[in-house]
Amino acid sequence: MTDAYPLADPSLRSALRALRALFGDGALVAAGSGPPLERIAMRSDPPAVAPCVVLEAPGARPVAVPAEPLVCGFLDGVQRSRVVAYRSGSPLIYASVAAAVRERVARRLETWREPTVRRALFASRAKLGDPAWNQLVDSGVPVVDITADVTDDAIPVHPFALRARALDLVALEREGLERRLAAEWCRREVRWLWIDGGISGNLAVDERATAFGVVKSHTTLYGSASQVESVLALGEAERSPAFLVGHRPRRAVASWYLRLRTAAGGDPLHGLVRVEISPPADLLDPEQVTDDARARLTAHCDRISAGILAERAPLSLPDPRWDTLTYGIHACEMYLDALVGI
Where does the pLDDT of residue 106 fall: very low under 50, low under 70, confident under 90, or very high at 90 and above?
confident
Q: Which stretch, 42-46, 147-151, 209-213, has highest mean pLDDT?
A: 209-213
Answer with the residue of higher pLDDT: 134 or 36.
134
Report how far apart the first and last C-alpha atoms of the chain are (Å, whole number).
Answer: 17
Amino acid making up residue 273: V
Q: 28: helix, coil or strand?
A: strand
Mean pLDDT for 285-310 is 91
97: Cβ contacts below 8 Å, ≥ 6 apart: 1, 77, 78, 79, 80, 117, 118, 119, 170, 173, 174, 177, 340
Q: Which residues pair with 54 in a beta bridge?
A: 243
- Residue 44 is predicted with a pLDDT of 64
Q: CB neighbours (10 Å) of residue 176?
A: 18
Name the pTM for this structure.
0.88
Q: CB neighbours (10 Å) of residue 237?
A: 20
Q: CB neighbours (10 Å) of residue 17?
A: 15
Residue 113 CA to residue 101 CA, distance in Å, equals 8
Amino acid making up residue 114: E
The values of phi and psi at residue 330, to 5°, are: -60, -45
163: Cβ contacts below 8 Å, ≥ 6 apart: 37, 42, 83, 91, 93
Residue 330 CA to residue 265 CA, distance in Å, equals 25
The least confident of 139-153, 225-239, 326-340 is 139-153
Question: Where on the phi/psi map is residue 79: left (φ > 0), alpha (ψ -120 to 50), or beta?
Answer: beta
Q: What is the pLDDT of residues 28-86, one digit of tens each?
A: 776 556 677 877 755 567 899 999 999 999 999 999 988 889 999 999 999 999 998 88
Residue 276 CA to residue 304 CA, distance in Å, equals 10
- pLDDT of 226 > 60? The answer is yes
Mean pLDDT for 211-236 is 95
Mean pLDDT for 251-278 is 92
Are 97 and 37 in contact by the 8 Å Cβ rule? The answer is no
Are 193 and 185 in contact by the 8 Å Cβ rule? The answer is yes
Per domain, the residue ranges of the chain are: 12-340
Are 92 and 85 in contact by the 8 Å Cβ rule? The answer is yes
